[in-house]
Chain A
Amino acid sequence: MEQDAQLVQQCLQGDGSAWEELVRRHTRRIFNICYRFTGNRTEAEDLTQDVFLRVYRTLGSYRSAHGGFATWMTSVTRNLLIDHYRRTKRDRVTDSLDDAMPVVETKESVARRPDEQALLGELSGQVQSALTRLSPELREAVILRDLQQLEYVEIQRVLEVPEGTVKSRINRGRIELARILQQMGVRPA
């Protein structure tokens, strides 16, 4: 975290390599948040680029006293994702459990048997598909807590809501996700 703050300071002083290092350190995490929220790689790529563009333009407004750079960046990401959700709401087809064709994800090469890898890929696709059916406020809470492993306090800062609301959203999000998966006939083991 301190290293991030130092890199930000160097960026503000015009050090291009410091910005490059920040991009290298956070691209993967931001891309994953965007991907889990949208369920679409292309959209996730574009949104990740937009996040970094906004961060680059507003870097001067970051204050380390208000929290870590990663939390601040996650907050920027969340705002952009909500904007994106609202912008594309009209274009989106109404969610239906029948049209969900879970996409098998391509993940890092982990030493698994091919059948295990295939099953896991299928399950991941189904969980991802169910995730995109959650309402955006529940989805972001679940993603930040269960996929990004953020603490309640950090989520509270990102979402700018009271801790009780954070807990409630996470709880409702998990229960809703379980119901969606059950309706899809999936039972994660």
Chain B
Amino acid sequence: MTWTCEQTEARLSDYLDGLLDGAEWSAFNQHVNTCAVCTPLVSSVAHTLGGLYALEQVDPPPQLETRILLATVGVARSKFDFSAWLRSFLSPRFVYATVSVAATMALLLTATGFNWRKPKLADLAPATVYRRADSTIHVTYARSVKFVSDLRVVYEIQSRMNEGDQNPAMREETIPQSSPKKNPGQTDNTNPSAPKQQNRATDVSKRLEVLACEFPIWSGSLVDRREQ
């Protein structure tokens, strides 16, 4: 069977759709393989067909169905789409907001002393929450004060201040002429019989002297003023 260029063009779709019988298919191929005109034609149409098949369905806008229903029956009586409603909860924005709220609630409840192992409804009563929050705040404050006091820096400062109290070069009048008589319960050199106000004044004076030792330039005036 001989095949012409006109026949090739006319039966091209049949060839591409696989509708040629065996003899036609052989003759078609034989002609196309030897014809310089038909070879690029068949190739380009085959590729075009591939491009058409690659075209995907385009999504219509979501409101189109509603528009059609409004234009036809007048009312969009769309059914409640439960699966679509559930899918809406999987949006990243909703998930992020939910997790944030849950984390905040968990933190607040934990801060108020809520027992997660044995949760009770009574634990959520406002009075209970307030009482626990108050207690937690005080305990936290006390712990933080203790933590600060235990810090090495703070300890060092306190030690140096105490050393200043005991440094003979700082205060000549504090050099004991003889071993002072200490009474049980007395931990400093103050006179327990003196008024409390006087003890405090003495204590402040000691502190100022230690500071004067540390910062002799500007604190000297303070000491002088104190002595006056």
- Interface residues in chain A, defined as those with a beta carbon under 8 Å from any beta carbon in chain B: 16-17, 19-20, 23-24, 27-28, 31-32, 35-36, 41, 44-45, 48-49, 52-53, 56, 105-108, 110, 120, 123-124, 127-128, 142, 146-147, 167, 170-171, 174-175, 177-179, 181-182, 187-189
Contacts and interface: CB of A to CB of B under 8 A. Distances in A.
Q: Which 4 A-B pairs have the closest CB atoms?
A: A188-B51, A31-B60, A171-B13, A178-B48
Interface residues of B, number: 36
Interface of B: 9-14, 16, 41, 44-45, 47-61, 64-65, 67-69, 71-73, 77-79
Given A28-B57, A181-B51, A175 B64 contact: no
Given A16-B77, A23-B65, A107-B56, A174 B50 contact: no
B78 to A, nearest CB: 7
A186 to B, nearest CB: 8
A53 B64 contact: no
A170 B15 CA distance: 13
B64 A171 contact: no
Contacts, number: 124
Contacts of A105: 56, 58
Contacts of B56: 105, 107-108, 110, 124
Nearest to B56: A107
A127 B60 contact: no
B13 A123 contact: no
Given A27-B65, A35-B58, A107-B56, 20 more contacts: A16-B73, A16-B77, A19-B72, A19-B73, A23-B72, A32-B60, A48-B60, A53-B68, A56-B73, A108-B56, A127-B51, A128-B55, A146-B49, A174-B45, A175-B45, A178-B41, A178-B45, A188-B48, A188-B50, A189-B50
A28 B59 CA distance: 7
Contacts of B49: 146, 174
Given A32-B57, A105-B58, A128-B55, A181 B71 contact: no
Contacts of A170: 13
A20 B72 CA distance: 10
